[in-house]
Structure 1
């Protein structure tokens, strides 16, 4: 949801932010995008729905949401900026202050949150896979000692295994030089980086990268290397404009083999929504890093 699509008048920055907040609240309460419930709209279709204010209120998804909450979301999603809820009005609302908000969780909210977190896991697996390229150019002394796989959290181990499998094309439990070259070429990196990656990760010097060795290179991305994250971000940001769009995300996920051909558009849309926290239709570097920040032990 790019900022230019959102109707604004005076103080456009605040009005746009309020509208974006309405979209985020709508998604949190219902589990789907108000202007793209199926997650299949392209940018032009989405922009058209936003400009005319055609939000989709599916009764089944909203029947457990209070009238007070719906009123707040409705006020934020007004296409006419003069009718949109103001900051002061929002802060004074009883539901926002907690006076009318129920304590019990919404039915099905746990399922929606689990699905949201699954998309974040795929994101992190993709970033870790790209991280093998970006981290191999760093000083190996900064990579730290090899983590014991048994000490990793289940979530971190699952993500690392998914990233490892991107390279382990024959499924034999190790990554050889030919597999590295193949994936480097598919991701648009230089094939020569394969030799660099092998030299950096293959500490046993047996010509292959084991899962434990892969974990050393790709495990501590968030906690120890902003440079590596920026390099990984650059692999997704193929046009170099400083943000990742849907096409770039879909292209990288396909190259990494993390999504199939069937229904991949919907998968990309769900993954995009999981990262695009401000709802502006683009993924910034801060949002990219945020996929790890919530779980910086991974």
Structure 2
């Protein structure tokens, strides 16, 4: 299991931690959906192994199976989302501990809550993304019609923060952008 721990974690990263459970549950659900290749609502050890390999993380199948099997409920062939979430939480505690993070968690959750509210202003249709059209509407409402008049210009604004180049901004891209703005203005 030790080899699996090293290959799965590589280096410690705060993005792995569940700092604000309500927000990160959405992130975890997206990851779960990507790993669930056959879309049956379960991730088998084989699907998880395949997903980890595609991310460049080599895992020993028997070690991965021994890590995952305690979280698979009797009668199921794989992890349901709730099981996957429990596994994630367990790995989070194992690799990052919680003792020195308690104070920071409250602050992180408050900050993410504020960013979530700001994001909702832009995400008018509530689909979890800010499109160029949605940004254009908000710019007009803010009295910045000149900046949002031409859709090509608005699309360039979107592409400047759109890391996955899908033509829209998700919450995590928005959060990175807002943190950059806050840091630069401080």
TM-score by structure 2 length? 0.38
More helix per residue: 2
TM-score by structure 1 length? 0.26
Where relative contact order (Cα < 8 A, 6+ residues apart) is larger, the structure is 1
Q: Flag the structure with larger Rg.
A: 1
